[in-house]
Structure 1
Amino acid sequence: MIDGKRVLIIMPAWNEADGVADVIKEVHTTLPGADILVVDDGSGDDTAAVARRAGATVMRLPYNLGVGGAMRAGYRYASDRSYDVTVQVDADGQHDPRDVPELIERLDAGADLVVGARFAGTGAYDARGPRRWAMLVLAFWLSRMSKTRLTDVTSGFRASGRDLIDVFARWYPVEYLGDTVESTIAVVRAGYRVEQVPVAIRPRAAGTPSQSPLKAGLYLGRIGMILLLSLSRSSLGPKRKGT
């Protein structure tokens, strides 16, 4: 429990055996009142076994679904067990668990979804080329839609309240790229309140990011399609309770 709320840390992990134990131990130390669920997304290494030994509950997916599929599974787990808050924390150590209480505080203040934003004046995270262009365009449009300043709608460091846990358990985009963007667009259009908290992103604890010029270009194209489709649909995903 954290401030009287049952909090679940959802940690999607794919081939993170080298670093996931340290991340789990840090979360346990920093947030002793939170539970940790590692969703092993079809890893080909010992991620699941390492995570269990480190003290996390582990859900193993039969094959790699991508972050969106792993998160939907995590939300279902949280919804079935009536958690009040979920926080997505990456298994590579880039998200600092010391920032989690501030995300939860914003939920307590009335937000439904709180994003840990990398481009809000804290830290030195930098993205360049097509990826950065996509982030800027998305931030502009989502800020207009939500009527609040959002600088980093692609961040996976996010906290969700009870209503959205139940929504995401039934509906969460499972595309490998774009799940954070599409889900944010959907909840904004449904009338949910989205806010951000400035955070600093740390270097990966282990492994290497899967970035390349080709993937960056594909990312830009996919994000553009998601934005166009999401804005053109009359109904997308969740509906806020009472609407």
Structure 2
Amino acid sequence: MDKKKILLIIPAYNESEGIAAVIKTVDAYRESSHYKLDYIVINDGSSDNEEEILLANKINHVELVLNLGIGGAVQTGYIYAKKHGYDIAIQFDGDGQHDIASLPQLVDPIINGEVDFTVGSRFIQEGTSDFQSTGARQLGIKILSQLIKWSSKVKIKDVTSGYRAGNHKVIDQFSSYYPSKYPEPESYMHLFANHIKVREVGVKMFERTTGESSINLRKAVGYMIDVSLSILIAGLIRKEDQK
């Protein structure tokens, strides 16, 4: 059987301080693993010298001339995956939070035909992460998880995880449409509406050591209100489509 073509989609905004180290880790894994694995960094209109770092280190990347945000950057990666005929696409953060050694937990269930989409989780029993975010953020994640369960009857514990993988059906869907503002939590409702089989799998994650999170305390309340409404609206649309 031919090996599946796998692409790491690595969105990066102002990650000049750490992106070269992340790619060095990815390259080392590619050399030692049995997967047919490539990567593409999406430089999301960075205002630092990230582009210079990418060019100097000959890192495969796409440069966006404007900052599209995480949703637009990730969708660019899915469009690239579809254009180049990849079988599986994996979302992988450019800030060093995701453990490349956890990749088999994400891709093997897809390669084996068990599911279409996997989400790497810190919060299930099989997870090996010591880092599980702050207490306030974990509370917010639990609230969003309950909203998704209420709207879809599906329980996803680590709903804001950006370490996720999908097969060709997911690549087709997300290259056509990917939520822009709150992509991780909202996208589940669109996956469920298209009968995509989703599984949460345990992975290891690390605390960010470079760059800045897109969500800070000042934005947290507004984020929770907006993303909750997005999930509820997407859930209503899903139910309407199923009638």
Q: Give structure 2 stretches of 5+ with no counterpart.
A: none
Letter in 2 for 1:11: I
**Comparing 30-39 and 91-100, the one that deviates more:** 30-39
**Comparing 113-122 and 83-92, the one that deviates more:** 113-122
Pairwise CA distance, 1:169? 0.7
Pairwise CA distance, 1:51? 2.4
Residues 1:128 and 2:135 are matched in the alignment: yes
Counterpart among 121, 132, 153 of residue 159 in structure 2: 153
CA distance in 2, matches of 1:231, 1:210: 25
Q: For residue 49 of structure 2, what is the aligned residue in structure 1?
A: 46
Give CA-to-partner distance per residue, 1:191-219, whole Å, 9 cap, x none. 11010111221122423334432211111
Q: Pairwise CA RMSD of aligned residues?
A: 2.3
CA distance in 1, matches of 2:147, 2:217: 25
Moved over 6 A (4+): none
Counterpart among 144, 161, 186 of residue 190 in structure 2: 186
Q: How many pairs were matched up?
A: 234
**Comparing 34-43 and 144-153, the one that deviates more:** 144-153
Q: For residue 170 of structure 1, what is the aligned residue in structure 2?
A: 176
CA distance in 2, matches of 1:230, 1:90: 25
CA distance in 1, matches of 2:240, 2:28: 39
SS in 1 for 2:81: helix
Question: Normalization by structure 1: what TM-score?
Answer: 0.88
Contact 2:102–2:203 (CA<8 Å) still a contact in 1? Answer: yes
Letter in 2 for 1:174: S
CA distance in 2, matches of 1:146, 1:231: 7
Letter in 2 for 1:5: K
Question: Normalization by structure 2: what TM-score?
Answer: 0.88
Q: Give structure 1 stretches of 5+ with no counterpart.
A: none
CA distance in 2, matches of 1:61, 1:211: 21
CA distance in 2, matches of 1:225, 1:144: 13
CA distance in 2, matches of 1:155, 1:54: 28
SS in 2 for 1:34: strand
